[in-house]
Amino acid sequence: MEVLPYAFSVCRVSDETKVDWTQPFCFAAKTDREFSLVCLTEYVPEETLEREDGWRAFRVAGTLEFSLIGILSRISDVLAEAGVGIFAVSTYQTDYILIKENQLEKGLDALRKAGYMID
């Protein structure tokens, strides 16, 4: 796993045209009830309905094929057993796990003890 050196925010926005889609990390989800955005804290749109700062992220290294089963489940189980909450985001090729900054070391220690290699 690779720890990313950035501060992230999770927020709800009302106007997706205000999102800077050129930023290096920008995860969005839209449903019939909301538009959610995970992005670098420095790129959070000025007008948000709600936001929570203070997240850090790591990604599962390598490309994950759709046939691979249970990777995110095992990681989240280890973190849950350590009392660390997560916010997970998946892309076509890999998974990203966000942990609150104040729990990052606790979460990484738990993953290391479970045998995960952390860069």
pLDDT at 71: 77
pLDDT at 62: 61
- Residues 84-97 have pLDDT tens digits of 999 999 888 888 99
Nearest to 8 by CA among 104, 109, 118, 99: 99
User: Considering the domain boundaries, does residue 27 fall inside one?
Assistant: yes
User: Considering the domain boundaries, does residue 119 fall inside one?
Assistant: no
Question: Mean of the pLDDT values across residues 81-108?
Answer: 93
pLDDT at 29: 92
User: Considering the domain boundaries, does residue 118 fall inside one?
Assistant: no
pLDDT at 63: 56
User: Considering the domain boundaries, does residue 23 fall inside one?
Assistant: yes
What domain range includes position 25? Answer: 2-113
Q: Can you give the CATH number for the domain in which 9 is found?
A: 3.30.2130.10
Q: Check pLDDT > 60 for residue 115.
A: yes
Burial class of 47 by CB neighbour count within 10 A (0 to 12, 13 to 18, 19+): exposed
The reported pTM is: 0.87
pLDDT at 99: 97
Whether the CB-CB separation of 58 and 2 falls below 8 Å is answered with yes
Q: What is the number of structural domains in the chain?
A: 1
- Residues 24-79 have pLDDT tens digits of 999 999 999 999 999 999 999 988 999 999 999 999 876 544 455 567 888 999 99
pLDDT at 72: 83
User: Considering the domain boundaries, does residue 14 fall inside one?
Assistant: yes
User: Considering the domain boundaries, does residue 28 fall inside one?
Assistant: yes
